[in-house]
Chains A and B, each alone.
Chain A
C-alpha cells in the first residue's frame, strides 16, 4: 500500500513538473528573441550579454576580436520571432521563423545562448552552427 501511495505521489509530481515547462519555454524564447533583436539593432554588446560565457569566449578566440565586434560579423538572423521553443531539463532550443535554430543552456544567470544560426544536417548528427561553444 505504501509503495502504491509513493508511486502515485511520484507520478503526480512528475506530471506537475512537465506542466511547469511552459514558463521556462517562454523565458528561453525571450532570450533568443532579445539576442536576435540586438543583432538587428547592431548592438553587439547586448547580443553578447545573451551568450553563455563559454560561447562568447570561444567566439573571441576564433575571431581574435572582442565579442561585441565579432558577433556582428557572423551570418546570423537579424531580428525575427521565435516560431517554436522547447525546454528539456536545463537545455532548450528555439527555432527562429526567419531561419536558423538557437540552443540555450540554463545557467546561474538564467537562459544563455550556447549556439546560434544552426541548421539540421542528418537526424543523428549535431546541427551545423554559425556560432557555438
Chain B
C-alpha cells in the first residue's frame, strides 16, 4: 500500500487537490449565487440544486475546456514546433512524427511494448494518437457543455430583462460565449508559452519539468 501510494503520489495528490478545489468552488459559488439572489429578491437555492445548475456547470466547464485545449494543443504542436533550450521541447533535429524505429512501433516494438504498438493498421494509428484523441475529445466535450450551460444562463438573464431567449446556434455567435471562452484560452496560452521560455534560463532542482541545474541554457530536450 505504501509503495502504491509512493508510486502514484503525483496522480493521487492532484486528484485530492482537484476534489478539494472542486468542493470549495461549489460551496463558494453557492454562497455567491444566494447573495446575488438575495440582492434581487429572488429565492435562494440549496447546495444540491446549485451543483446541478447551469450557473455552476458553465463556471466549471469553461475552465475545464481551456485546460484540455491547452494539453491538446501542447501535445499536437510539440510534435513539430521547437524551442531551443527548453525542456518542454524535443531535440532540435527531431521535429515531426519521427521514425518507427525511434518510436518503437511495428517491427521495432519491444517485448514489453503496449500490444497496439506492435500491430499495424488502424489499431496502431489510434494508439499512436490516443493521448491527443482523448484530450481533444475532452476539450470538445467540455466546450460543448460550456455552450449548453452558458446559453441557459444567458437566456435567464435575457428573460430577467424582458428579452426573448435565443437559440443555442445564435448563442455561439454572441460576445458572451466568446468572452467566456477566450478569457480562459488567453491565460492558458500565456502560461504554456511562458513556461517554455522561463525553463530555458531558470531551474528547479529535482523537477522533471526543469533541466538539470547545471545544464547549459542552449541544451534542448533535456529533463532534470
Contacts and interface: CB of A to CB of B under 8 A. Distances in A.
* Residue from B22, B138, B152 having most chain A Cβ neighbours under 10 A: B152
**What are the 8 closest A-B residue pairs judged by CB atoms, nearest first?**
A91-B159, A89-B156, A88-B155, A88-B156, A2-B15, A126-B162, A13-B52, A17-B52
B18 A132 contact: no
B43 A90 contact: yes
Contacts of A54: 41
B141 A11 contact: yes
How many of chain A's residues touch chain B, expressed as a range?
35 or more
Interface of A: 1-4, 6-7, 10-11, 13-14, 16-18, 54, 86, 88-93, 101, 103, 105-108, 114-115, 118, 120, 124-127, 129, 132
Contacts of B15: 2-3
Contacts of B159: 88, 91-93, 103
Nearest to A12: B52
Interface string B121-165: 000000000000000001001100100110011011011111111
B73 to A, nearest CB: 19
5 contacts: A17-B54, A89-B53, A89-B54, A108-B43, A129-B162
B153 A3 contact: no
A120 B164 contact: yes
Contact of B51 (A13, A18, A107, A126): A13
A104 to B, nearest CB: 8
Contacts of B42: 90, 105-107
A16 B162 CA distance: 27
A18 to B, nearest CB: 7
A127 B162 contact: yes
Interface of B: 11, 15, 18-19, 22, 41-43, 51-55, 57, 60-61, 64, 138, 141-142, 145, 148-149, 152-153, 155-156, 158-165
Contacts of A114: 162
A26 B191 CA distance: 47
Contacts of B55: 89
B43 A107 contact: yes
A2 B18 contact: yes
A131 B59 CA distance: 34
A106 B156 CA distance: 11
Contact of A126 (B64, B138, B156, B161): B161
Given A88-B152, A125-B163, A7 B52 contact: no
Contact of B165 (A1, A6, A13, A86): A86
Nearest to B51: A13
A105 B162 CA distance: 11
Nearest to B152: A88
Given A14-B52, A14-B54, A91 B156 contact: yes
A7 B60 CA distance: 10
B152 A2 contact: no
A105 B161 CA distance: 11
Contacts of A92: 159
B222 to A, nearest CB: 30
